[in-house]
């Protein structure tokens, strides 16, 4: 049996294939302005990469910000459920999932059997999301991929007090004019993101084990800041950005088996 999961995020589109209970392949690309086209493209590219024909795929589930745009999917499921399933597929010991993507951030609490029992979500403000970090990177004329390494060199994280992206950008510009080091400002930005997310996590009583998913999980500085705020170790999978798509494919397999 072969099933597919497609995760359409605000920045990237992801696809994953599960074949007989094992991960058969993944694909990631930019979503762009045309989400339906992005969904088809990542799946077609993945099928070509794995040598699997489209007619061999038994069930497709879409998830993510643009899940309803995937008109060829058999079913759509929220990213909360899919990230929970994907995290447990990667690491069966995970109890909490922190998903930080481009558009929103979520903290998900899982039961012993891997079901979502509670969650907290920030989808009303860019603070604490990948978009916030992108804006800050532009203000600092820095490559976002370097943020983790640069923040590790900080002496004292700069104070970024505002939780609003626009005001925080103004704070950064003011710090630049005062001669604050880029490293300290980036560390302060990570502290600001971690404060926002940890507040949600603490409401759910986060302990451990914790896995971080989404694109921001690739930022080691953000992960470190969040670990310090929560006082727990955070696991980051090489499949962090693909967790939702993997979870969708896994749930598709379960639905197909029970049909």
Q: What is the CATH number of domain 1-91+239-259?
A: 3.30.420.40
- For 162-188, write each residue's pLDDT tens digit: 667 777 888 888 898 899 999 999 999
Q: What is the mean pLDDT of the chain?
A: 92
Is 24 in contact with 1 (CB distance < 8 Å)?
Answer: no
Structure-block tokens of residue 139: 């203000």
All CATH 3.30.420.40 domain ranges of the chain, comma separated, are 1-91+239-259, 93-236
Give the residue from 99, 97, 103 showing the smallest Cα distance to 125. 103
- Using a cut of 0.75, tell me whether the model's pTM lies above it: yes
**May I ask the CATH architecture of the domain 93-236?**
2-Layer Sandwich (3.30)
């Amino acid at each position: 049996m072969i099933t597919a999961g497609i995760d359409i995020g605000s920045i990237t589109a992801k696809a994953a294939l599960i074949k007989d209970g094992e991960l058969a392949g993944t694909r990631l690309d930019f979503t762009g302005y045309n989400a339906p086209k992005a969904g088809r493209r990542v799946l077609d590219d993945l099928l070509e990469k794995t040598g699997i024909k489209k007619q061999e795929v038994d069930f497709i589930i879409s998830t993510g910000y643009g899940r309803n745009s995937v008109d060829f999917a058999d079913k759509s499921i929220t990213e909360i459920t899919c990230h929970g399933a994907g995290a447990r597929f990667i690491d069966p010991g995970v109890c909490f999932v922190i998903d930080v993507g481009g558009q929103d951030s979520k903290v998900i609490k899982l039961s012993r059997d891997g079901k979502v029992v509670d969650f907290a979500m920030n989808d009303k403000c860019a603070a604490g999301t990948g978009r916030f970090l992108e804006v800050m990177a532009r203000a600092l004329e820095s490559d976002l991929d370097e943020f983790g390494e640069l923040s590790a060199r900080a002496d004292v994280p700069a104070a970024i007090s505002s939780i609003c992206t626009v005001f925080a950008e103004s704070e950064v510009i003011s710090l630049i004019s005062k001669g604050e080091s880029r490293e300290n400002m980036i560390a302060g930005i990570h502290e600001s993101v971690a404060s926002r997310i940890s507040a949600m996590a603490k409401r759910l009583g986060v302990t451990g084990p914790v896995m971080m998913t989404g694109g921001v999980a690739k930022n080691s500085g953000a992960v470190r800041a969040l670990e310090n705020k929560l006082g727990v170790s955070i696991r980051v999978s090489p499949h962090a950005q693909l967790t939702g798509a993997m979870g969708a494919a896994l749930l598709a397999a379960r639905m197909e088996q029970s049909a």
